[in-house]
Structure 1
Amino acid sequence: MLCSRFELTGELSDIMEAIAVQKRAVGLTPQGDADLPAILNNLGGSLTRRFERTGELSDIADAIEVQQKSVKLTPQGHDPDLRGRLNDLGGSLTHRFRRTGELSDLVDAITVQRKAVELTPQGHAHLPAMLNNLGNSLTRRFERTDRLSDIAEAIVVKEKAVELSPQGHANLPLALSNLGQSLIHRFQRTGQLSDIANAIEVQQKAVELTPQAHPDLRGRLNDLGSALTHRFERTGELSDVVDAIVVLQKAVELTPQGDANLPIVLSSLGSSLARRYERTDELSDITDAIKVQQKAVELTPQGHPNLPGRLNNLGASFTCRFEKMGELSDIADAIVVRQKAVDLTPEGDAILPLVLSSLGNSLTQRFEQTGELSDITDAMTVQRRAVELTPHGHPDLPGRLNSLGVSFTRRFERLGELSDITEAIVLQQKSVELTPQGHASLPGRLNNLGGSFHYRFRSSGEIRDLEETISRYKTGSTSSVSSPRAKLDAAQRWAHILIQYDPQSPELIPAFDTALGLVAMVAGLEQTVRGRYTRLGDTSGLALGAAAAACALDRPDKALEWLEQGRCLVWNQLNNLRTPLDDLRIQDEILAQEIANVAKELETAGSSRVQSHVDMSLSEKIPLEDEARAHLDLAKKWDALLGKARAIPGFGSFLMPRPCSDIMSHLPESGPIIVINVDRRRCDALALLAGMDEPLHIPLPIFSIDKARKYRTIFDTQLRARKLRAREDLSAHRVLRGLWEEVVKPILDALGFSEPPRVWWCPTGPLSFLPLHAAGIYGGENAESVFDYVVSSYTPTVTGITDRVKNPHSIESHASGLFLTSQPNTTSAPPIPGTTKEVQSIFQRAEESGVRASKLEGNEMSVAACLERMKEFSSIHLACHGSQNAAEPLQSRFLFHQGDLELGTILKSNLKNADLAFLSACQTSTGQEALSDEAVHLAAGMLAAGYRRVIGTMWSIGDAPAQEVATAFYEYLFTHRDEASGSAFDGSPSAVALHRATQQLRLSLNDSEHSLLTWIPFVHFGL
């Protein structure tokens, strides 16, 4: 009774009381009593159950002793009793083997369990359980000896156990779970995908059939999570590892402290978190992985056979974090724990090749960092041994060959011995040959092989090696594997090798097409906005390099396409989620509505889904993982819906990267958009003029990325020390003159303007931080500047303008007007003395001009009130503090007394009448250097929110100049409005208005360094 209750509740006091009662019964039963064998067997069962819970070795030793005595005392011919006692003894022997690793226990267990099965008649209710137990022991022996015959037999007897277990029987979930475990083991040995698919299927069923309160649920969740992780490692399907983490977190949550199984589920969870980190680069995952794996190791008793595996997994996580952070202490820790794993693994154990190869990998990585030759020598020694111990046909053999090949390559880099790189190529070729198509590791192994061929080419000059290099990178980038990061690495290498050795190769076009297409997958919609920006940091400059290559090939059309596809990716994703669906609704209204619904959910998930962090408890993280899985499902549904839309005639390119002809089909008539590409190899301008089929290509041979960076440094220096006397070569004058002579004037000369037009500047790279709108020579007889020739605006992308030209919107009459707000002081920022006066002056002029206007100041303003006014008025003037968050751009904000208005909140507000936003705050158009082509600033965010034109500032502005420019800006708009417009407010002349207002300020000052830095920061974005 007590034992049954313990099995249902897991309450330790029940089994302890049961053991006490049974020991007393044994003591009271005389030798030779017919009941003694049964009483002994029952006591053995209870001791085994307590061992399963506590891991106390004395319990399992005592259990085996009394069960052996029970079997010995059971008379031959008493088959019903004998088979049960043999089965129980076999189970206890297997438990002790799992704790001590003593192979003789397992051999004895299999012997007695086979006999128990033989004694059990067909159709007997206990036969499924006995088959299951025999199968488990055979599986354990396979784990130790790697004999395929054992795992094959284990699967056969477990399949029979499942087949013989009636539906609804309590043993069926156990039989299914155990079958799944054996299928996983065979998958790990043979790599057959059908085995892991079947394992997941039966384990999911086992979980579904296990009651929520059942103590075995946590173990079955652990097995399911491990199976999903294994499949992710094979296929790279992100949903598998996300699902694994969800079920493993639940398994950990259900496992009580002190339970002997807690280290198992902790280690499994850590491995899954580490695998996801390798895919997503989310630092909290690898931090959490290390934390739970350290705890798993701490809770594992010394001498436990699973300790080496857990140490090895912990070492893998330390190694992952080292790769990300570069901290030598992490790789040192990885080597320590992996060396201990090797030391604790007995000869002949099937795990020995794994821990040897893993130790070698960590030693190689430390060598890459320190150059210590002993590390690479030791690495190759243990990796060779791992390869020798791995049987032919084992699915881990390709990985171990690849690792040894990498070590040979690293030693070649250091010593230059041609034999090393030749050996590396031999090993890596064999690794690639043995890796199944569709394996998630294939692109990475092709990359390594391609790299080795490249090293040998550079040493020997053999063209064949260069051809092999290109071939391997191309194959890796175009494989069918769902591993975008590895494929992107291959594509980038493919393109860069071609640029280096054959810059006129026609293969550059498919290489960069492939690479840029993969960027969108690496930073996919299943991630939060922050996660996408994190992934994009590694691809900075890819689109610029592609455009430079296209210009060298005289393909300005491809240059434009690639720049539009590869820059401002996150804003473009947001734009796609908000794309008008009117044409699609005509064809399929239901599909269009589904797309609209999923788009809205994806936008919300991307901007507001909470990310886990290291300070959260496990219970707090469980619902976050559920949200992450739902987010991934949304992204998959989005892709499926786009596939349906593209199957409709005429919608084949729906929301796909635009061809040049499409990009240029709605250019503004009032002037060109000028894209300036800045790359380390060359700089070019692409002028887009209405009526032309492709961009006008204007090379900029005397400008360079180094000059752009130098000019950026000079400007930053002057802004930090405005009152210092500037040296001529380190002055703002020098920068503006350089921009004029090397960039702007060559472009204007090529265009040959006869009268001042509008110009939209679309700079890239470090040029994004420099004031093209102010380029010129100031002072002296030869003074001239861009102000003399054009009215300048900026745009983050070409489509940011053409989409607005293509989709003009009429502002509803009730919404046309101007809303002004000032926040001269907040709790988190210093006062802005002139803002109240600025707003009051503009508001007064608006009323005098008959313009519908409203203002809120200081404590009158709240976030809700501001949002209401933004919906109510087409234009807004925000005179307040701004806070830019480059890591999480949607959390960039405007600071009010009554709270902060985040950009993400504005984006969700559906401002369909938005027209003009004047951001009279500091640094509202300042980006971040690491993400220069992602436009992570407030001005770009307001464009994304729907405003057609935005006034921003490139750096901090003075109170008086800010007020002067704002006042003059609105004065121009008020005096040039159509008198027939009634109380409407028209922001369309805003670029000219800012041009005039800035010019007015400029002319009131001299041409000193300080004066230049006073008027230059005001910039116009949009139409």
Structure 2
Amino acid sequence: MSLAVSLTPQNDPGLLGLLNNTGTVCSSLYEETGNLSHLETAVLYAEQAVSATPKNDPDLTKRLHNLGLRLLRRYERIGNLEDLDSAISMVEQAVSVLPEGHYERPSYLNSLGGLLLNRYDRTGNRGNLEAAILHTAQAVFNTPNDHPDISIWKNSLGDRLFRRYQRTEDMDDLESALLNTTQAISNTPESNPHLATCLNSLGNMLSSQYEETRNMDVLKAAISSMRKAVQITPKGHSNRARLLSNLGLFLFRQYEKTNDKDIFNDALRTAKSAVVETPKNHPDLAKYLSNLGDVLFCSYEQTGKIEDRDSALSLFEESTKCPTAIPVVRVQAARRAIRILLTLPMWERACELAQDAVKLLPSVCDRSLDRQDQQHAVLQTAGLASDACSLFVRTGRVSQALQQVEFGRGLILGYLIDNRSDASALKKDHPVLADEFERLRLLASQPIDDVIEPRARDHFINGRTEAHRQLEDCLDRIRRHHGHERFLLEPTLDELLQCATEGPIIVVNVTSISSDAIIVSSSGCKAINLPEITSSQDSVLANAFGMSSSKDGYREKHVRDIKSEREVTTKYSVGFLSWLWKVCVKPIFTELDIAPSAEPPRMWWIGTGVASSFPFHAAGLYSDESREDTLSLTIPSYTPTIKSLVYARSCAARNSDKHAEASVLVVAMPETPGQKSLSGVIEESKAIQKALGDASKVEYLEKPSAKEVMDRMRQSDIVHFACHGSSDSANPSDSHLLLQTTTLEGPSLDKLTVQAISEKRSLEKARIAYLSACSTAEVKDGQFADEALHIVSAFQVAGFGHVIGSLWSADDETCIQVAKLFYEYLAQDGRRNATNRVIAEALRYATQEVRTGRDPILWAPYIHSGA
């Protein structure tokens, strides 16, 4: 047929049909043999057919659809994202042309759903998954039950609902997925080639149901379904390796439960077959290599056979080097390999793998994703950067250790900062390019409205994705200009060191590999080992000082008065702060030769992992005989990352008080719907007014809505919140300050969330945010610790160079006193245009004043974060 195509004149009316039919034949040959050359020919002929078809030809939609499917197959085989995007574009065009009720529309909708599911797999963008479900549900809804392809659409819907279950763990989705797929199988004849796909879907669903129920009969049913799918799929078929890998995984799970050696051998043999039958450049090869590696490493743990361990290590390393694989699969394979290398030990090799994996993190958590998708992405790689840091410290490469932990932590925070970073220098040198950058940056960072109509949401996501691509191209062009080569790139080592000119930056990195402090100064960085801190102490430390855990996230309904908790926590607090001083802070101070001084040095703290919640500022010996503590010797501050410190300083410099009179917004919530009243809030507000006197113009908002506050913040140098606060463990971006809105039914709770604050723009005057509320600098879920997404960091992103927050619940009475002393210090003569140092000093002064004779539980939660 290829010869017939080549011999047919271009103006022959039969050429278009010949191109289309020849492409279909080549596509079928590829499905049967897996030979890539057949697929390339199919794509070529499909492209020629589309380009030669007039726009008004009724067959154009069919040819667009065919081309989309061919490009999808090539994407699945090679992994080129451009093929997938082009495929989506082709099928979207076809769907847009077909009217409602057209007999081919369900087929095209189902195909579009499959394409979007593939893009979800690659990018993690949940919007693509929801659109895939929507389009496929429409295909099912618009297809009669006696239609020959209804089983295909139903299985597709089941598969896409199952994928949402894997993301959300909503059992309703799993049940709906099983219902649709079992109906599809019951209506699919044994001779139908689509049956294997249905059986594969059913096997995956049953396997997940087994994970929920631990019912062995369910796992056996999954194995039976998958085994049948393998049996009816001929060797050489493009989908056979995937079926084999799934079967091997299910058998391995059965072995873990039964310890039956015959089942293990079957699992090993099947997993090996999946690898053997997969072409070397196939995107899924990395996954199959990792699955086989898991089986072999389990064998090593059971038998001690060194060759199994070495084979597993080799497979994991090979998986990390598959360039077309989904990035998160490569990262997970690297972590498996590192785990083995640590036991040998082979530190240098582990460092290389860790460094390569850290480089992949921005691909796992892409800046084009919305916030929820980014949070989901970082959960899959939590702790990797800290592990890499430990490895590099272990091998004596401290500078590289610092770069690893700086590059791989705070990804989401870094993207938010990039969306707001100052481009004035670029605008001065290249105004046209700067305007293009600002336009694209705004388009690419627009939040996705959850209530937007589904079809419009789909197009919005596509448009934002395209804006991100154009933005990356724009950044490439910017970086070609002299003086802008590192525009919005991560800081170099020299730039990181330069950040320590105002005082040392201490990174306390705690992992299962080691615990170390990296001391960053303007002259270089060095590490000291902290052997008495181990990550295995996590639960002990949480019990000792993590006074913010509760099942519903509302401890005592957010009361700032924590007297009810004091009996539980007092016995831990002084002992913990003493322990932290002895094993961590004092060795660092000794290394830095810090001694009592009339002008104590400034110091910034960064904790990773379990150390991210350590109160370094409050560490010390608090017996009557001793006064060794952090506050007495330094002016302590915190920063999530060095990059965020640079940003905070730029905001502080840009928004420094240029006038004698500062504008202060005080937000007070003495009563909050559904929460306990805060009796001290009114007194706190009056204390602030009295402390500032005529030095500032104070505006007072009582019981405002989130919108009112956001509107008023634009005109304020200082914002002070006296209210309840909540840290959300499952969704850090939903951590919030509790405000109030008015409805027809009366007052109701309103939330000023991390996401809303961090997306706020145009805060030209923002300088200090004082958050007199509970847990505003707390991240409850340890897996999110290295992202530092909390209320304090949100205000920093919004443009406040200085933020006062709390690590845990704050006592109502102490809140009043600390706030009063803080503002009194700022309002003293000569301090109206307070420097960065003076603002940090103000909190230190206030804390030192109130801590005398008080339990640290009361005075220690308050921290300064930023410049």
Q: Same fold (TM over 0.5)?
A: yes
Distance 1:948 1:429, change over 3 A: same
- CA shift for structure 1 position 209: 1.0
Task: Confirm whether residue 683 of structure 1 aligns to residue 524 of structure 2.
Answer: no
Distance 2:777 2:578 in 1: 22
**Match of residue 1015 from structure 1:** 859
- CA shift for structure 1 position 407: 3.6
**Match of residue 465 from structure 1:** 308
**Match of residue 19 from structure 1:** none
Distance 1:870 1:985, change over 3 A: farther
CA contact (8 A) 2:639 2:866 kept: yes
**Match of residue 114 from structure 2:** 271
Q: Secondary structure at the match of 1:637?
A: helix
User: C-alpha offsets along residues 786-835 of structure 1, whole Å, 9 cap, x if unaligned?
Assistant: 33333221111123335666898366774564221223349965776655
For 1:203-222, list aligned pairs within 5 A.
205=51, 209-210=55-56, 222=65
Q: Secondary structure at the match of 1:550?
A: helix
For 1:165-244, list aligned pairs within 5 A.
184-189=27-32, 190=34, 191-192=36-37, 193-195=39-41, 197-198=43-44, 201-202=47-48, 205=51, 209-210=55-56, 222-223=65-66, 225-238=68-81, 241=84
User: C-alpha offsets along residues 435-490 of structure 1, whole Å, 9 cap, x if unaligned?
Assistant: 33443212212221222332233344333332332222222222221622222222
1:740 aligned to 567, 581, 600, which one? 581
**Match of residue 246 from structure 2:** 403
Distance 1:810 1:387 in 2: 64
Distance 2:482 2:276 in 1: 42
1:628 aligned to 461, 479, 500, which one? 461
- CA shift for structure 1 position 174: 7.9
**Match of residue 527 from structure 1:** 369
User: C-alpha offsets along residues 772-797 of structure 1, whole Å, 9 cap, x if unaligned?
Assistant: 32234445555754333332211111
Q: Output the amino acid matched with 2:779.
A: G
Distance 1:471 1:710, change over 3 A: same
Task: Confirm whether residue 1000 of structure 1 aligns to residue 849 of structure 2.
Answer: yes
Mean Cα deviation higher: 521-530 or 239-248:
239-248
- CA shift for structure 1 position 991: 1.3
CA contact (8 A) 1:246 1:622 kept: no
**Match of residue 360 from structure 2:** 518
- CA shift for structure 1 position 764: 2.1
Q: Output the amino acid matched with 1:451.
A: D
- CA shift for structure 1 position 553: 3.1
Q: Output the amino acid matched with 1:405.
A: G
**Match of residue 696 from structure 1:** 527
User: C-alpha offsets along residues 907-956 of structure 1, whole Å, 9 cap, x if unaligned?
Assistant: 55344664333234443323342412212122212222333222123344
Distance 2:548 2:219 in 1: 46
**Match of residue 819 from structure 1:** 663
- CA shift for structure 1 position 713: 4.0
Mean Cα deviation higher: 628-637 or 426-435:
426-435
* TM-score (ref. length: structure 2): 0.83
Task: Confirm whether residue 932 of structure 1 aligns to residue 773 of structure 2.
Answer: no
For 1:308-327, list aligned pairs within 5 A.
308-326=151-169
Distance 1:958 1:601, change over 3 A: farther
Distance 1:868 1:407 in 2: 55
CA contact (8 A) 2:79 2:283 kept: yes
Distance 1:644 1:577, change over 3 A: same
Mean Cα deviation higher: 274-283 or 566-575:
274-283
Q: Secondary structure at the match of 1:726?
A: helix
Q: Output the amino acid matched with 1:996.
A: Y
Please provide the CA RMSD for this pair.
Answer: 4.3
**Match of residue 594 from structure 1:** 433
Distance 1:744 1:491 in 2: 33
CA contact (8 A) 2:667 2:703 kept: no
- CA shift for structure 1 position 240: 5.3
Distance 2:564 2:175 in 1: 49
Q: Secondary structure at the match of 1:440?
A: coil
Distance 1:290 1:572, change over 3 A: closer
- CA shift for structure 1 position 507: 1.2
Distance 1:743 1:333, change over 3 A: same
Q: Output the amino acid matched with 2:433.
A: E
Distance 1:737 1:988 in 2: 27
User: C-alpha offsets along residues 398-448 of structure 1, whole Å, 9 cap, x if unaligned?
Assistant: 323333333443344334455554554454444334433443212212221
Mean Cα deviation higher: 380-389 or 754-763:
380-389
**Match of residue 951 from structure 1:** 804
Q: Output the amino acid matched with 1:271.
A: G
CA contact (8 A) 1:183 1:199 kept: no
Task: Confirm whether residue 909 of structure 1 aligns to residue 761 of structure 2.
Answer: yes
Q: Output the amino acid matched with 2:522.
A: A
User: C-alpha offsets along residues 242-287 of structure 1, whole Å, 9 cap, x if unaligned?
Assistant: 6656765676677666554354234334433433443344556556
Distance 1:726 1:839, change over 3 A: closer
**Match of residue 723 from structure 1:** 564
**Match of residue 399 from structure 2:** 557
Distance 1:336 1:542 in 2: 39
- CA shift for structure 1 position 989: 0.5
Q: Secondary structure at the match of 1:723?
A: helix
Distance 1:317 1:505, change over 3 A: same
1:449 aligned to 271, 292, 299, which one? 292
2:324 aligned to 461, 481, 486, which one? 481
For 1:486-885, list aligned pairs within 5 A.
486-499=329-342, 501-579=343-421, 589-590=429-430, 594=433, 597-598=436-437, 601-611=440-450, 620-644=453-477, 655-669=488-502, 671-691=503-523, 693-703=524-534, 704-714=537-547, 716=549, 720=556, 722-723=563-564, 726=567, 731-755=572-596, 756-778=600-622, 781=625, 785-802=629-646, 809=653, 814=658, 817-825=661-669, 835=681, 838-839=684-685, 841-843=687-689, 845-848=691-694, 851=695, 853-858=696-701, 874-879=717-722
Q: Output the amino acid matched with 1:740.
A: W
Number of matched pairs: 839
- CA shift for structure 1 position 662: 3.7
CA contact (8 A) 1:425 1:449 kept: yes
Distance 1:769 1:243 in 2: 46
CA contact (8 A) 1:598 1:638 kept: yes
Distance 1:802 1:349, change over 3 A: closer
Distance 1:323 1:923, change over 3 A: closer
Task: Confirm whether residue 968 of structure 1 aligns to residue 801 of structure 2.
Answer: no
Q: Output the amino acid matched with 2:364.
A: V
Distance 1:635 1:493, change over 3 A: farther
Q: Secondary structure at the match of 1:436?
A: coil
Tell me which of the two structures has the higher relative contact order, counting C-alpha pairs closer than 8 angstroms and 6 or more residues apart: 2
1:941 aligned to 778, 794, 797, which one? 794
Q: Secondary structure at the match of 2:589?
A: helix
Mean Cα deviation higher: 988-997 or 188-197:
188-197
Distance 1:885 1:465, change over 3 A: closer
Q: Secondary structure at the match of 1:547?
A: helix
Mean Cα deviation higher: 192-201 or 918-927:
192-201
Distance 2:805 2:80 in 1: 43
Q: Output the amino acid matched with 1:601.
A: L
CA contact (8 A) 2:54 2:60 kept: no
Q: Output the amino acid matched with 2:440.
A: E
For 1:139-154, list aligned pairs within 5 A.
153=1
- CA shift for structure 1 position 663: 1.7
* Paired-residue identity, %: 26
- CA shift for structure 1 position 509: 1.5
Query: Which structure dedicates a bigger proportion of its chain to helix?
Result: 1
Distance 1:443 1:397, change over 3 A: same
Distance 2:671 2:90 in 1: 44
- CA shift for structure 1 position 517: 1.6
Distance 2:664 2:693 in 1: 12
